Amino acid sequence: MQQFVNSVELDEDDEELATAEDLKQWLVSRDLLPRGARVTTADLRRALEVREGLRSVLAMHNGAVAAPEAAASLEAALEGCTLRARFAADGTPGLVPVRDDARAGLARLTAIVAAAATDGTWSRLKACADDGCRWAFYDHSKNRSGRWCSMKSCGNQHKARAFRERQRAPSAAQGRKARS
Ligand SMILES: [Zn+2]
């Protein structure tokens, strides 16, 4: 799931899913789609809408205000990516796609999301709070307070900016005091 959302580096403009064939390879290599499936440009467009819709949801996990439009367009993009229940011979239940075209790949991703929501890991998957980054990361912190994909890059950048702003504020105040 994390890999899907991170199939583009927004800050580097590096898109892994540039063509329908890229999407096909991506899904096939992760056993989300059979090798013989046909993937069209419309499927690619749909997949990118799903990816960005999921990114909006992951931003909400990181404190972004709830965006009903984002949830609605994610749902619309998943139209036809239908799942049904299947029981193995030993009774083990699972959710499997109804269709076997490219939408099956997105349906399988949705099943992964549903499973993650059930086991409690979904809300720990977040989009980085840095506006230019928005990389998906798993928040391992005990109190679920993680905000940045990495303290090294985004977290420190933010800290440095906050520090500069704090530095600037008192000196401005001192300036006023000196004049009065
Ligand atoms: Zn980041």
| Per-residue pLDDT, 171 | 53
Interacting residues of 124 by C-beta distance below 8 A, sequence separation 6+ = 61, 138, 139, 140, 144
> How far, in Å, from the CA of 140 to the mean position of ligand 1?
15
Question: Could you tell me which residue, 81 or 179, shows the higher pLDDT?
Answer: 81
> How far, in Å, from the CA of 18 to the mean position of ligand 1?
22
| Distance (Å, whole) CA 101 – CA 15 | 23
pLDDT digits (tens, 9 = 90+) for 49-73: 999 999 999 999 999 999 899 999 9
| Distance (Å, whole) CA 85 – CA 107 | 12
The CATH code that applies to domain 2-149 is: 1.10.3300.10
Q: Which residues have C-beta under 5 Å from ligand 1, the single-atom ion?
A: 128, 130, 133, 135, 149, 154
Strand partners, 86: 94
> How far, in Å, from the CA of 123 to the mean position of ligand 1?
17
**Rg, Å, the chain Cα set:** 21
> How far, in Å, from the CA of 68 to the mean position of ligand 1?
24
Start-to-end Cα distance in the chain:
59
Question: Could you tell me which residue, 171 or 29, shows the higher pLDDT?
Answer: 29
3-state class (DSSP) for residue 81:
coil
3-state class (DSSP) for residue 58:
helix
Q: What percentage of the chain exceeds 70 in pLDDT? A: 93
Half-sphere exposure of residue 60, counting CA atoms within 13 Å on the CB side? Answer: 15
pLDDT digits (tens, 9 = 90+) for 123-168: 999 999 998 999 999 999 999 999 999 877 898 877 777 778 887 7
What residue segments make up the domains of the chain, in order of their start? 2-149
Contact predicate 73/49, CB 8 Å: yes
Mean pLDDT of the chain: 90
172 pLDDT more than 70: no
> How far, in Å, from the CA of 175 to the mean position of ligand 1?
36
31 pLDDT more than 70: yes
134 alpha-carbon distance from chain centroid:
8
| Per-residue pLDDT, 180 | 42
> How far, in Å, from the CA of 19 to the mean position of ligand 1?
25
| Per-residue pLDDT, 89 | 97
> How far, in Å, from the CA of 70 to the mean position of ligand 1?
21
| Per-residue pLDDT, 133 | 92
